[in-house]
């Protein structure tokens, strides 16, 4: 008897040699923003939390420290090899598309760079909301990939053109795997339509200079996706030049716009936000 492996729309393999470098670069860029969004009154001592797609575990560990020994953090990932259970932090292999793990309902649920990759994102969002305890917070954070990574400085015009060509191919691969590059723009509205209150959104973008931690993501991603990038018609020489560009201090581009949206499930007796007619959350 054979078993069918868990399928995912995520284009990047967390078991690849480059996965750890990718996770560390994302953590360096995004963790300060996420930490601010999860700060009190969201995370409080004793809270029960679910970290969806926990990756390298930096945010799961942050949550575990914040909720203290009387709280619980359930950190899930389809490939949890980079995670370790310890104290009030429990690691589980889990596909978010199969529903919520044991341990709920949850006072805080956080999902970063997860739903945009899933064709079932709206259904999953509804299930995350259903897994919230009354008064619980949902924090969803995504890259808005609709605005290209604008080149701010490049050693040559040809270098700038090549960067754009490789990035367009990369985004095409993500779309082919079911990603919605504009999903970040919809999360706020979807939370309101689902009846969450206190919904708010912030966005963040910054320059990434060649050789910086942020720019290293370009090189790492190009290595993880190399077979698919070559299949689009790019050559090994072009990818080599692209990677050199990501290390060149004479190069700079804007990062993707990072969109962080959070909302709170109403407590009993609170009137939920009005639903807009003609829209569905399914």
Per-residue pLDDT of 114-137, as tens digits, reads 999 999 999 999 999 999 999 999
Q: Which of 280, 269, 273, 262 is nearest to 132 (CA)?
A: 262
**Looking at residues 14-18, what average pLDDT do you find?**
70
Q: 162: pLDDT confidence band, cut at 50, 70 and 90?
A: very high
What is this structure's pTM? Answer: 0.90
Q: Is the pLDDT of residue 221 over 90?
A: yes
Q: Which of the pair, 168 or 280, is modelled with greater confidence? A: 168
Distance CA 177, CA 189 (A): 24
Q: What is the pLDDT of residue 268?
A: 81
Q: 2: pLDDT confidence band, cut at 50, 70 and 90?
A: very low
Q: 7: pLDDT confidence band, cut at 50, 70 and 90?
A: very low
Domain extent listing, the chain: 19-264
Distance CA 185, CA 52 (A): 20
Q: 271: pLDDT confidence band, cut at 50, 70 and 90?
A: low
Average pLDDT, the chain: 91
**Looking at residues 267-279, what average pLDDT do you find?**
56
Q: What is the CATH number of domain 19-264?
A: 3.40.50.150
Distance CA 256, CA 182 (A): 12
* CA-based torsion, 118, 119, 120, 122: positive or negative: positive
Q: 4: pLDDT confidence band, cut at 50, 70 and 90?
A: very low
Q: Is the pLDDT of residue 9 over 80?
A: no
Q: Which of 5, 7, 11 is nearest to 224 (CA)?
A: 11
Q: 277: pLDDT confidence band, cut at 50, 70 and 90?
A: very low
Distance CA 184, CA 191 (A): 12
Could you give the 3-state DSSP secondary structure of residue 152? strand
Pairing of strands 72-77, 89-93: parallel
């Amino acid at each position: 008897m054979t078993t069918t492996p868990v399928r995912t729309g995520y284009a990047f393999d967390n078991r690849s040699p480059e996965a750890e470098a990718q996770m560390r670069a994302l953590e360096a860029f995004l963790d300060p923003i996420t930490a601010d969004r999860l700060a009190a009154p969201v995370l409080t001592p004793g809270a029960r939390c679910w970290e969806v797609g926990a990756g390298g575990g930096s945010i799961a560990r942050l949550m575990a420290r914040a909720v203290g020994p009387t709280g619980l953090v359930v950190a899930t990932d389809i490939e949890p090899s980079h995670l370790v259970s310890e104290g009030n932090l429990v690691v589980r292999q889990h596909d978010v598309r199969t529903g919520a793990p044991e341990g709920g309902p949850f006072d805080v649920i956080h999902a970063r760079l997860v739903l945009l990759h899933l064709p079932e994102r709206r259904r999953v969002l509804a299930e995350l909301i259903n897994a919230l305890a009354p008064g619980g917070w949902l924090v969803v954070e995504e890259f808005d990939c609709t605005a290209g990574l604008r080149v701010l400085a490049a050693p040559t015009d040809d270098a700038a053109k090549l960067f754009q060509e490789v990035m367009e191919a990369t985004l095409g691969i993500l779309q082919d795997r079911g990603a919605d590059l504009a999903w970040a723009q919809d999360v706020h509205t979807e939370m309101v339509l689902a009846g969450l209150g206190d919904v708010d959104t912030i966005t963040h973008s910054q320059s990434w200079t060649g050789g910086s931690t942020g720019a290293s993501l370009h090189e790492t991603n190009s290595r993880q996706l190399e077979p698919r990038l070559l299949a689009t018609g790019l050559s090994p020489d072009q990818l080599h030049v692209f990677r050199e560009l990501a290390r060149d201090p004479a190069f700079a581009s804007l990062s993707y716009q990072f969109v962080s949206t959070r909302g709170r499930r109403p407590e009993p007796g609170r009137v939920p936000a009005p639903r807009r007619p003609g829209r569905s959350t399914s």
